[in-house]
């Protein structure tokens, strides 16, 4: 068959077939007396092999090597292909993310597009100083909360991370931008999200969706997430029993017990909640080991009211020296 027929049967253009001939990939088995290329069924099978290998992303040079050395192991070549494909997917994913961030910002004109792109570029800069300036830039238009959250998850510099948290809180985008992360499978992302929620301004803290997100995250398996979520709940004026239970459990378990005690003290400042908060904490003393009793005593020292004083008075006679001394010291301070 001549080149035109081969092109029709294979779907490969005549121009590409000539290129394959020049490279030695698919050469016609014969030529006519007039010099026309004559291809055989074997040549057609070879052409299909070339096209099949091209679907894997092999270069024409690599295809030639593979076909000329059929006994060679394909492992190294496949490994290189996998690495190249991963790099390409990562580049495409980064582009898709940037396009989505740009679309979320909802720019009205190309000047705003350029403004958002400048911010996104700044947030991915290798310079910590430039990343911090980008986070603190008040001029960027549109909703860029998702971009700021992603930058916060990547950030390793504490100063830049602080600037990003401030920027998110100031923009009021903290809730919608981190709720998915707060209930996601990645513990580090949940920690970052919970730490961000602690810093939201009062106007955002009063939002129903914000409070619902906090309540949903109170049973997180990570104690550091529970700490920040409970702290944020107290800061938002939430006094639900679930919040108290989490704070008491943190004290009992010795995880961020000082911060938990301070948050309990904020709740107990409300006269209507003092007795309930104190009673919930005192209940943990029964049958507790000395370290737990000591932490509970220290937490009781933060609480107002006669009930906390009475509990500390009882602990002055505790069989454990550390618990007794702690209780006596705290009573002297009241």
pLDDT top residue among 109 and 130: 130
The vertex-186 CA angle with 183 and 190, nearest 5°, equals 50
Task: Please compute the mean of the pLDDT values over residues 45-63 and round it to a whole number.
Answer: 91
Per-residue confidence (pLDDT) for residue 185, from 0 to 100: 86
Per-residue confidence (pLDDT) for residue 149, from 0 to 100: 83
Question: What are 122-145's pLDDT values in tens digits?
Answer: 999 999 999 999 988 866 656 787
Does pLDDT of 324 surpass 90?
A: yes
Distant-in-sequence, close-in-space partners of 313: CB < 8 Å, separation ≥ 6: 327, 331
Question: Do 127 and 180 touch, CB atoms closer than 8 A?
Answer: no
Which alpha helices (H) appear in the chain, and where do they start and end?
3-10, 14-23, 41-54, 60-68, 75-105, 110-123, 128-136, 145-154, 158-171, 174-182, 187-197, 202-205, 208-217, 223-235, 241-253, 257-268, 271-282, 290-300, 306-315, 321-333
Distant-in-sequence, close-in-space partners of 44: CB < 8 Å, separation ≥ 6: 1, 6, 9, 10
Give φ, ψ of 201 to 5 degrees.
Answer: -75, 165
Side-chain-facing half-sphere of 317: CA atoms under 13 Å: 4
Share of the chain above pLDDT 90, in %: 46
Question: What are 162-192's pLDDT values in tens digits?
Answer: 888 888 877 655 566 677 778 788 888 888 8
Side-chain-facing half-sphere of 210: CA atoms under 13 Å: 26
Q: Extract the tokens encoding 7.
A: 């092109």
Q: Extract the tokens encoding 94.
A: 């980064």
Does pLDDT of 61 surpass 60?
A: yes
pLDDT top residue among 143 and 60: 60
Per-residue confidence (pLDDT) for residue 150, from 0 to 100: 84
Per-residue confidence (pLDDT) for residue 314, from 0 to 100: 95
Give the Cα separation of 200 and 175 in Å (integer).
8
pTM flag (> 0.85): no
Question: What are 22-42's pLDDT values in tens digits?
Answer: 999 999 988 887 778 899 999
Question: Do 223 and 256 touch, CB atoms closer than 8 A?
Answer: yes
């Amino acid at each position: 068959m001549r080149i035109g027929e081969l092109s029709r049967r294979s779907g490969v253009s005549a121009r590409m077939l000539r290129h394959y001939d020049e490279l030695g990939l698919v050469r016609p088995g014969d030529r006519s007396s007039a010099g026309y290329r004559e291809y055989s069924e074997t040549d057609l099978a070879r052409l299909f092999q070339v096209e099949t290998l091209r679907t894997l992303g092999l270069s024409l040079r690599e295809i030639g090597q593979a076909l000329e050395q059929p006994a060679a192991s394909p492992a190294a070549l496949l490994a290189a292909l996998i690495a190249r494909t991963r790099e390409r997917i990562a580049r495409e994913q980064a582009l898709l993310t940037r396009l989505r961030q740009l679309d979320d910002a909802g720019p009205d004109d190309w000047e705003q597009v350029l403004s958002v792109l400048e911010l996104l570029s700044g947030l991915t800069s290798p310079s910590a100083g430039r990343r911090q300036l980008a986070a603190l830039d008040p001029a960027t238009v549109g909703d860029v909360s998702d971009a700021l959250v992603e930058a916060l998850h990547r950030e390793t510099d504490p100063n830049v991370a602080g600037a990003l948290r401030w920027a998110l809180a100031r923009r009021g985008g903290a809730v919608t931008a981190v709720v998915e992360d707060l209930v996601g499978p990645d513990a580090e992302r949940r920690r970052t999200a919970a730490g961000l929620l602690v810093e939201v301004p009062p106007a955002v803290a009063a939002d129903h969706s914000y409070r619902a997100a906090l309540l949903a995250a109170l049973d997180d398996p990570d104690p550091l997430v529970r700490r920040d979520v409970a702290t944020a709940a107290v800061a938002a004026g939430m006094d639900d029993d679930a919040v108290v239970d989490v704070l008491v459990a943190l004290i009992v378990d010795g995880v961020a017990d000082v911060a938990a005690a301070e948050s309990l003290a904020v709740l107990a400042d409300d006269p209507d909640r003092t007795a309930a908060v104190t009673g919930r904490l005192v209940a943990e003393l029964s049958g507790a080991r000395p370290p737990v009793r000591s932490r509970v005593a220290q937490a009781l020292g933060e609480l107002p009211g006669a009930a906390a004083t009475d509990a500390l008075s009882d602990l002055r006679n505790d069989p454990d020296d550390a618990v007794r001394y702690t209780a006596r010291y705290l009573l002297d301070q009241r």
